[in-house]
């Protein structure tokens, strides 16, 4: 793997947060991420990819790590016709945690490039209704292409700013995989942290707070919202959830993913104390699972 760029302030931050685990975390940041795929259950549940060695992900149905050296999997006919999707394992989990029913009306508020929307559609067996939204018109084209390739037919695509999303109805379930500082992507892109800075993290945090406030307003009573990021900064995770708990009737729900090592949400950081309910959120550290770093929180809107 190419030399990984870890900013000095980033190192200081995670030395303080992880203490004796920090060296393992930094070592994992310098180790290339194992690629993974998920079979598209809308088209197949059994796929034989010639000369490709796969290892089952034991906590996600139809998901596999790619254990053989290959650079051409994305060019196979099976990929082009949507029999499988290349996707990071951690990135599959938010849709699985949301677990929409076949009768639900679902909003994917920041949906592009569409992998999570496609997985939502598979869980719903192409029934119910999904609104897949993104603010970026260029990324909307990729979103539409992905959904068509996967055979998704229960989804409408919209292009609006998620901060003031306009809709005549409310949703049973909402996925907010929020734009973030992408700290978890360093194992896939060695220069992922080139633009990282504390002001950048704080600017993302402000955007996330606006998005989650908007998303929560769009939920029906007793509806559920999953908030996720591919970053580890408490400012972009626990602090965002804490703000929602302070200002709304939100309740955090337990998340259980058997066979996956998950840390609890952090309740104290830099002399700030967060709502203890945030312990129910999960942190997926790359040095504990050998997958991308991720944060996931499941939220219910009380009556």
Question: Which residues are known catalytic residues?
Answer: 230
Please compute Rg for the chain using Cα positions. Answer: 19
**Chain centre to alpha carbon of residue 35:** 16
Burial 259-272 (b: 16+ CB within 10 A, else e): ebebeebbbebeee
- Give the 3-state secondary structure of the chain: CCCCCCCHHHHHHHHHHHHHHHHHHHHHHCCCCCCEEEECCCCCCCCCCCCCCEEECCCCCCEEEECCCCCCHHHCHHHHCCCEEECCHHHHHHHHHHCCCCCCEEEECCCCCCHHHHHHHHHCCCCCEEEEECCCHHHHHHHHHHHHHHCCCCEEEECCCHHHCCCCCCEEEEEEECCCCCHHHHHCCCCCCCCCCHHHHHHHHHHHHHHHHHHHHCEEEEEEEEEEECCCCHHHCHHHHHHHHHHCCEEEECCCCCCCCCEECCCEECCEECCHHHHHCEEECHHHHCCCCEEEEEEEECC
């Amino acid at each position: 793997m190419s030399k990984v760029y870890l900013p000095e302030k980033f190192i200081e931050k995670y030395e303080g947060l992880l203490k004796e685990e920090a060296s393992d975390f930094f070592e994992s940041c310098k180790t290339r991420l194992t690629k993974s795929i998920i079979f598209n259950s809308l088209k197949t549940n059994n796929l034989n990819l010639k000369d490709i060695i796969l290892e089952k992900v034991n906590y996600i149905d139809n998901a596999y790590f790619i254990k053989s050296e290959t650079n051409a999997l994305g060019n196979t006919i099976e990929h082009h016709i949507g029999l499988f999707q290349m996707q990071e394992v951690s990135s599959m989990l938010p849709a699985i945690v949301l677990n929409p029913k076949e009768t639900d009306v679902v909003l994917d508020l920041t949906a592009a490039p569409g992998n999570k929307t496609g997985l939502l559609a598979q869980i719903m067996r192409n029934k119910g209704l999904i609104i897949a939204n993104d603010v970026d018109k260029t990324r909307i084209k990729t979103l539409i292409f992905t959904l068509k390739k996967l055979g998704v037919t229960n989804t409408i695509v919209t292009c609006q700013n998620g901060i003031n999303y306009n809709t005549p109805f409310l949703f049973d379930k909402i996925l907010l995989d929020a734009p973030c500082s992408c700290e978890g992507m360093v194992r896939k892109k060695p220069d992922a942290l080139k633009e990282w800075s504390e002001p950048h993290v704080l600017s993302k945090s402000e955007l996330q707070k606006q998005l989650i406030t908007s998303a929560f307003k769009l939920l029906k009573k007793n509806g559920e919202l999953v908030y996720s990021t591919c970053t580890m900064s408490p400012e972009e995770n626990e602090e965002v959830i804490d703000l929602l708990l302070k200002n709304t009737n939100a309740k955090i729900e337990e998340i259980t993913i058997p066979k996956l090592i998950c840390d609890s949400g952090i309740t104290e950081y830099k002399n700030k104390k967060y709502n203890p309910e945030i312990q129910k959120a999960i942190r997926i550290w790359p040095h504990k699972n050998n997958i991308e770093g991720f944060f996931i929180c499941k939220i219910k809107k009380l009556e």
